[in-house]
Amino acid sequence: MSRKQIFIDFQLPNQVMSQWEKSTNGLTHSSLYPSVTIARGLVSCHTVMPELPEVERATALLRSITKGNRIIRVETSEDNLVFQGPLSHEDFGREISGRVVKDAFRYGKYFYIELEGAGRMPLLHFGMTGMLHVKGQPTIQYRRKVHEDPDVWPPRFMKFILHIEAETSGTTTELAFSDARRLGRIRLVIHPREEPPISGLGFDPILTMPPLWEFQTLVLKRSCPIKALLLDQSFSAGVGNYLADEILYQAKVHPEQRCNTFLQNQVEALHREVADVCRIAVEADADDEKYPSHWLFKHRWGKGKKAQQSMKLPSGESATIKWITVGGRTSAFVAEVQCLPHKQRAGKTEATTEDESDLTPLSSDDDDDRPMVASRKRKLKSETTRRKSVGSSYTGEPLREKRPRLKKH
């Protein structure tokens, strides 16, 4: 059966498809699968992209199943986008089959499998929709409602399945890696921590959190908005959109505040919350139901005029959650708690409301936190606004003259 046929066989009712297409702007893979919507067979709402806690949870699952056991067989599905570089899916399966797993580790949003013997090791990244599945067990979810039957095997959008034989009992467990939107990445490397992409990442808040003096230097030398800095994986590996918003709320820092304007007490609060928020999320095993009730995470998902905000301030008054775009990402903050410094607020213009990071943009396989698309849209919008404001005195491209419509008789 072809890949296109597999997608079509899992079509869902129109009302379900419309929900997904609304949340993803009707994203399709028309160039690869004509007339096939990427969302066939998948229902998702309030999706949280895998960040450090979710990847830590997946790594723990992987370790519990594979450590000390042998990979006796590997099934793979062809995907030249997810399997990176010259690596083909056949190469991946052939190189790791028959080898014993020593352990599994995470750094940032990457995780890798350490294998015995000579040869390369799998280095994995979930992207936006990647996840692990164990045959016969419920799938790990990230604040999403995915109607999947655990008895359906292999899972949809499967990239590979590891057949793991237990050393003591001899039983075989099947573990699959799937990725619906194909933004995940699968590589083979010799030294995962010493080679790109991990070697180019910043500190990991759980594994390599820097001391306060070093952290302060890293922050104050930048002039970009603090939210953009937190999203940059070369600064803090593993922090994504919801973690960054939570860190800033707990530290009482506005997401648009410029890094080089931080006071000493703000740097100390930020340093403390980067470590604490990530630690608490990992200790909760990335289960949002176990997250503290006072977290912004519990209330940030309702957006729009019809949304009813139930968050309360410590005083008992209602909190006002607002949304802005910083670093190319939608940012939630509490207006009563997170305020811009007076000087920056006084000089703030409409153009800086959606400011961008002045850091090096992230590569497409590192994260979903990419500001480039939003930046191009703003340039186009600002150019259009400028033309309208100057009218006929505009000396750039000539404005097209409006012509009367011809009436048909």
Which residues have a catalytic role annotated?
50-51, 109
How far apart (Å, rounded) are the C-alpha atoms in residues 334 and 314?
A: 12
Nearest to 46 by CA among 298, 232, 227: 298
CA distance 274 to 254: 15
Cα 340 to Cα 231, 246, 286, 379, distances in angstroms: 19, 17, 31, 25
| Residue 297 token pair | 């995470």
Rounded-to-integer distance, Cα 243 and Cα 51, Å: 8
Angle between helices 264-283 and 52-66 (to 10 degrees): 40
Task: Check: CB of residue 165 under 8 Å from CB of residue 65.
Answer: no
Nearest partner of 21 among 40, 49, 48, 35, judged by Cα? 40
* Residue 258, beta-bridge partner list: 225
**CB-CB contact of 219 with 230 (8 Å):** no
Give the C-alpha separation, 255 to 325, whole Å: 9
Exposure letters 179-209 (e unless 16+ CB within 10 A, then b): bbbbbbbbbbbeebeeeebbeebbbbbbeeb
Taking alpha carbons only, the member of 9, 163, 35 closest to residue 96 is 163
From the list 146, 174, 142, the residue with the least C-alpha distance to 161 is 174
What one-character DSSP code corresponds to residue 348?
Answer: -
Tell me which residue of 272, 242, 191 sits closest to 51, measured CA to CA.
242
d(CA 57, CA 287): 9
Neighbours of 223 (CB within 10 A): 12
CB 290 within 8 A of CB 143: no
Helix (H, G, I), strand (E, B) or coil at 362: coil
